Structure 1
């Protein structure tokens, strides 16, 4: 592979990719009886055969090592009313104990927490982890699906939360 000379300003890059509107989800995992959770907007479908999805986790986040070691994770696609949860789980360094207590949730078959008010939930078993610069690309096979709530999705666009 050859090296690429860079002429792109990282701040401008962030502004440009921020123009791509995304849904917002919280990814959860459970390791040694402890729940871990993180807000993401990097969740996407990958394949229908087999059923694969992915999300990206920053390598320095404590969630990264927990989800890689656990090998299972859940995705809760957030309803427009769940901006508070999104903001909470986007902050680093919060205490792990009791962090899910403010939001109604249940355990999926894999043991991961899933938000009851989510528009959709997906349970996943990791199949591969790829290097993605300062993030890892975590790919997994879908093991369970649900649509617990109806309504408008929470969106993120141009550095702000938005709804339809």
Structure 2
């Protein structure tokens, strides 16, 4: 006999994409720059789809669009950095989120330094930096979830608040 209180099994999604984007946009996220070095070039992108995964081993993930040039670069390189932007990083975030920006010299206007574990570019106006080695990549819809083992961590001196993203806008928490 079937349980009449069981939830109906879901069918195909009828969710409006624009409404979904507005709903997800109400979730406040931090803003980071993910960077790598491949093909004799620095590659970087702004991301807010970044999170810690595990403490043992130390793992983080970032979600990257399948059709982006950054995905090919980060998979080819096998190492990448994460710069958690502080409130001064809005211009950097906007620049590195600009579609079609030139690859060569894209980090020229961004103050940065090289990570000691991987040599990838890390943004100077960051609250924290992480250097990672790719351990897995999982296709998920139109993105790839790139998982990395954390090889090195850097922390900035306190003094600046975080840059956050909410309702399609960059904001500072002050």
Name the TM-score class by shorter chain. over 0.9
1:92 to 99, 103, 110: 99
TM-score, normalised to structure 2's length?
0.90
TM-score, normalised to structure 1's length?
0.95
Give 1:10's aligned residue: 17
The structure with the largest alpha-carbon Rg is 2
1:145 to 140, 143, 153: 153
Paired positions, count: 163
Distance in 2 between residues matched to 1:148 and 1:33, nearest whole Å:
28
**In the alignment, is residue 122 of structure 1 matched against residue 130 of structure 2?**
yes
Distance in 2 between residues matched to 1:4 and 1:68, nearest whole Å:
35
**1:113/1:3 Cα in 2 relative to 1: closer, same or farther (>3 Å)?**
same
Give 1:67's aligned residue: 74
Instruction: Indicate if the aligned counterparts of 1:124 and 1:142 stay in contact, CA closer than 8 A.
Output: yes
Give 2:171's aligned residue: 162
1:44 to 41, 47, 51: 51
Instruction: Indicate if the aligned counterparts of 1:26 and 1:40 stay in contact, CA closer than 8 A.
Output: yes
Name segments (4+ residues, structure 1) moved above 2 Å: none
Give 2:121's aligned residue: 113
